[in-house]
Structure 1
Amino acid sequence: MSQKILGLIILIFITSTAYAATENEYIVQGERYISGGSYDRAIKAFKRALQINSKSAVAYRGLGVAYYGLGGNGVLDNPQTYTNAVESLKDSLAIHDESDTRYYLILSYLALDDIESAKKEYNKFKTTDPYRAEYLLADRIKNYTPTQKSTPNYIFVGETVISEGNTYSPTQCPPGEEFNTYVNKCQMSYSRRQEIEIQQREAEANRKAQIESAKIAAEAERKSFRRSIAGKYAGTGSIDADMSRIRNSATQQENMRLKDDLLRRGQW
């Protein structure tokens, strides 16, 4: 009986360890995407983390920051992206009150032109982070003016529809643009980005292949050089001495250094 209990404890420990590692992996992935400006990919990563742990304040915060960044990147000419940011950031604060989260919540409210909610959160923010409140937000709150809406990000909309099985909505269509034209732009923009990404992957694969070929050629050249030196001094009893002299030669060392530097940069 005790062995069964021990086995159950070990199984629970292993399962919980894998659970935490997977959640953390998605969170780290999402943060890297945000750093690189890939907000749409960051959103997917944080959503996967929340599928594993729906009570993760860090994942909700990351999701909110990604939505906010996406809106600032020109996603849609409607408030939905910033609304998603607000909802995710509020979910994070409900689990754990944290200054960075409230900072982005204030920015999201400002982007939505909800100055009253922004002021309310700003007053809370001043008590926990007075320095940033004064130097990063005070002027924006005091001199608030309505934001200028950005142009649509057709690529993101097209990708979301295809990858998540969503449908195009007339409410997302920019003012003055025909709905069918809007849908065509989304589809074509996303298809074009896929083509570019394929070209980039192929170019990267070719670059790596060229570097590997250069390394092989350089190593073959080194071996040939050593064989020629060994053949030249065969039977003289002075191979070791002459090889040592060549290796210690300033000219030879400089040549090898330059070759190695070119190899690292893929230019040899």
Structure 2
Amino acid sequence: MMNTMPPLGLGTFRLQGQAVTDSVRHGLQLGYRLIDTAQIYGNEAEIGAAIAASGVPRRELFLTTKIWTEHLAGDRLIASLKDSLARLRSEAVELTLIHWPSPNGAVPLAESLQALAEAQAQGLTARIGVSNFPVALLREAVALLGPDRVFTNQVELHPYLQNRAVVAAARELGVGIGSYMTLAYGEALQDPVVRAIAAARTATPAQVLLAWALQQGYAVIPSSTRRENLQSNLRAAELRLSTEEMARIAALDRGRRLVNPEGLAPAWD
């Protein structure tokens, strides 16, 4: 098992079939070692096959998957994770997240976390965490599991939605932050502020946005089907923005949420 989580990884949301196979194959060839998937993405089997065909030793990889809401009950979670592992052709993953809080609290958080902790005890996952958790639920999760047990909270986070209350609570609680939708569905790539910084740095807008997130200590998982974009995104780790540049991007926050599924989203902060 890989001991540390790479800060920059390969996201696979909305990628299926040959598209996800090619993305993972190219990503592994280019040096990506963190791959983020989820049960609901419907691509775990393709990812498992691409990893098996890559020749990259499994111990060099950090795999994350997420438990879907239908499997959060105590008598379903571990079986669903084992199904995910079979699709991923792996005996265990490095990180398993609760993808969304149980809608309307149908399954008590304590029940899901207890099952997730049992999965960890059984060696099915090295770490456990949450995704899309607002402050109150994150505090509850940490209170239920104890300190240093909740590895991360993966949330929508980009210049237009900087989720500062969640970030502050996570830091206070010792929970890492994973940023998804870091490029705001590509919208932030067109932002005049981002483009000006990119031009001044001879960088791409995507590199600027990823560097902005990385410099704040967030893990990022951009996805792409194009090898040249995958390669370019990796170079974001080499870019250091100035305090002034970071402040200019910070000023873009407008509380604009892009992921807010009806019937699934919790009470946001």
Could you say whether these structures have the same fold, taking a TM-score greater than 0.5 normalized by the shorter chain as the test?
no
Larger radius of gyration: 1
Which structure dedicates a bigger proportion of its chain to strand? 2
TM range (shorter): under 0.3
The alignment's TM-score, normalised by the length of structure 2, stands at 0.25
Higher relative contact order (CA closer than 8 Å, sequence separation 6+):
2
The alignment's TM-score, normalised by the length of structure 1, stands at 0.25
